[in-house]
């Protein structure tokens, strides 16, 4: 098997696994639409996003691409979330924890427990990576300890 064939097989297996949990492109679209509707109305996250997202339409398109890439290895996302997040000064552990809470709440509204668990595990890993990068970027040494992770 060539490297390309192996990558294609791995991508297909990842998509099949997600689809077996009820996670498909329509699920991702519902997740993004509902989650960011909550974010915009949220007292904690709403002002942060309002200060950094000028036009929601391209942001939502990009978030759909991002999550399809995460969940299906679609390879369609181009961007650097790390650079976007580390420069936001008022984005720390409490805000990431709140983001995860809203995200998990949204997942519970649109999918099965298995789908929620599958996606939230990835979201938590992403949030911890972004939090670690933000702490390091702000001169906080090596980032949060294991106990401080989300």
Residue linked to tokens 């040494």: 141
Q: How remote is the C-alpha of 76 from its chain's centroid?
A: 15
| Entry pTM | 0.89
Helix (H) or strand (E) holding 75: none
Q: Which domain holds residue 126?
A: 3-148
Query: Per the structure, how many domains does the chain have?
Result: 1
Q: What does the pLDDT look like over 33-82, one tens digit per residue? A: 999 999 999 999 999 999 999 999 999 999 999 999 999 998 899 888 88
Percent of the chain with pLDDT over 90: 65
3-state secondary structure of 141: coil
Is residue 141's pLDDT more than 70?
Answer: no
Which residues make Cβ contacts (< 8 Å) with residue 24, sequence separation at least 6? 18
Q: What does the pLDDT look like over 69-117, one tens digit per residue? A: 999 998 899 888 888 888 888 788 899 999 999 999 999 999 999 999 9
Give, in order, the Cα–Cα distances in Å from 78 to each of 2, 68, 103, 120, 131.
Answer: 25, 12, 22, 22, 21
- 65: domain CATH number is 1.10.490.10
Is residue 26's pLDDT more than 90?
Answer: yes
């Amino acid at each position: 098997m060539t490297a390309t064939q192996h990558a294609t097989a791995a991508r297909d297996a990842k998509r099949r696994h997600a689809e077996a949990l009820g996670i498909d492109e329509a699920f991702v679209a519902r997740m993004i639409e509902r989650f960011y509707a909550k974010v915009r109305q949220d007292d904690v996250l709403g002002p942060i996003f309002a200060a950094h997202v000028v036009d929601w339409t391209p942001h939502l398109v990009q978030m759909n691409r991002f999550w399809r890439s995460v969940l299906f290895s679609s390879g369609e996302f181009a961007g650097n979330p790390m650079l976007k997040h580390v420069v936001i000064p008022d984005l720390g552990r409490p805000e990431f924890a709140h983001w995860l809470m809203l995200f998990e709440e949204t997942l519970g509204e649109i999918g099965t427990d298995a789908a929620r668990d599958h996606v939230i595990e990835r979201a938590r890993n992403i949030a911890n990576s972004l939090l670690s990068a933000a702490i390091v970027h702000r001169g906080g040494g090596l980032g949060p300890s294991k106990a401080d992770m989300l």
